[in-house]
Amino acid sequence: MGLPGSSAGRGDPTLSGGRCALCPPFRRTPRPRVSGTAYDDCVSKDERPTAIEHAECHILHIDMDAFFVSVELLDHPHLHGVPVIVGSPSGRSVVLSASYEARRFGVRSAMPMSVAMRQCPTAVILPPHQRRYAEVSARVMGIFRSVTPDVEQLSVDEAFLDVAGSMRRLGGPREIGEQVRAEISSTLGITASVGAASTKFVAKIASTRAKPDGLLLIPGDQTVAYLHTLPVSALWGVGAKTQEVLARIGIRTVEDVARTPLSTLRSLLGASGEHVHHLAWGRDPRRVVVSRPEKSIGAEETFSSDVDDTDVLRRELLRLAHRTATRLRSSGYRAGGVALKLRYADFSTLTRSRKLDEPVDSAHALYSAATALLAALGDRPMAVRLIGLRAESLEPGGDGSTQLTIDRRDDNWRIAERALDDVNRKFGDAGVVPAGLLIPRGRANSTDGPRDGQDEQLEGEQPARLWAGKRDVPGARLRPPAVQSRKPRD
């Protein structure tokens, strides 16, 4: 990959006025410091050791900064420096990602869009482009794997790396982290933050503290002292409710947890008490797991208004089935089970699942199973706010070639959907969609019911229809070379 080298320098750290006198200013932007501590400024000992120093900090956690927004800004560079939110403009949807300019107004991921728009009314709302994010994510992971084969991908924009085997070739953990950041910035045009430590838990904390666009290394011999300056919320597994329980007896910092008898923590938190106690002392034996297969792949949608129309629910399941099946095929998996999720108007949630006779990767099969689960529920107690579909019991799908079955109709659907994949890769998302997903002319609300019999079109072979902006063009057959609705994406 030709990673750039690091500059030279040496020396041991000394504290002067609460700061490390030799700690180099390697950050591009200021990082907020934890109140009452200077460790964020001194945990990296020197700029270039004569030998591999901090070799115990061989675990890196690398996280892209505001990933979805950063990718969108590659295509909309004129929006740099302004508040940007990625998500649906519907007030009932949630924020997928927010630029740091928007975060200054209190906008956060997973916040209801209605709240975000009230807090930052000047923000530019951009719709998500999942295929684009997947493309950039694949390139990011490729950079990681050019450094070390020991990569545990956690999501599209973050991963753990074990660089123990790469240090003799590339330098110490901080050098490697800076080289990876430089490579991502120069080749992809986005930024990443890196945490380096001796455990996954502490590396994750370090990358969070390093954001945005920074690097933080926490040496093994300073890990406990650093952790003990943090609030108890920094510990994995300590959410708002657990914080309330601990606060009742005066436990508010990680140090408070560490000094509390284990028996007390067990009585307060049950089995998780021991887990929290170990983390408070920096103990985390988990290793970087190279092969971390996904347990499930799915999609869900929140309606703009509560829905009590079965036809609308079925049509949305068809949309979700295609989104999920596309991800299955692109990831090289097949599903051995399907789960249906409904969230009602009162926010209560119901989930039902079933095993499949054989592993599948087609939307037709997922949709059939999901609608069977929906029908089995019978009458619903109230209108539905959210619907979701999840493919479970995943297994490798082989080389991605079409595996024929004795059911000729299933084979036809599988072949057709792979043709859709090819067209959409060339012409962008929704270059071709099933006719059952098209909204009849004159119906602007996506929650309106489908035309008579549209859902039943899945039962027989039907022509696909091109989706060009807000217009639908009937009659386009599955012949990718003949499609001329839009230019290929560069």
Q: Known catalytic residues?
A: 158
CA–CA separation, 154 vs 151, rounded Å?
A: 9
Cβ–Cβ < 8 Å for 217, 44 = yes
The structure tokens listed for 450 are 């489908």
Calpha distance 449→253 (Å, rounded): 53
Measuring CA to CA, which residue among 285, 282, 266 is closest to residue 228?
Answer: 282
Copy the structure tokens of residue 235.
Answer: 């510990």
Length of the chain: 490
112-119 own/partner pairs: CB under 8 Å, 24+ apart: 113/85, 113/87, 113/88, 113/89, 116/85, 116/87, 117/85, 117/91
Tell me the longest C-alpha to C-alpha distance in the chain: 77
Calculate the dihedral angle through the C-alpha atoms of 99, 100, 101, 105, rounding to the nearest 10 degrees. 100
Tokens 């609030």 locate to 231
CA distances for 80 relative to 101, 122, 468, angstroms: 9, 14, 28
254, 256, 259, 216: which is closest to 233 by C-alpha?
254
Q: Are 151 and 144 in contact (CB under 8 A)?
A: yes
Lay out the sheet containing 465-468: strands in order across: 432-433, 465-468, 471-473
* Six-digit token string for 349: 């949630």
CB 222 within 8 A of CB 88: no
CA distances from 392 to 21, 46, 127, 395, 400 (A): 53, 48, 27, 9, 18
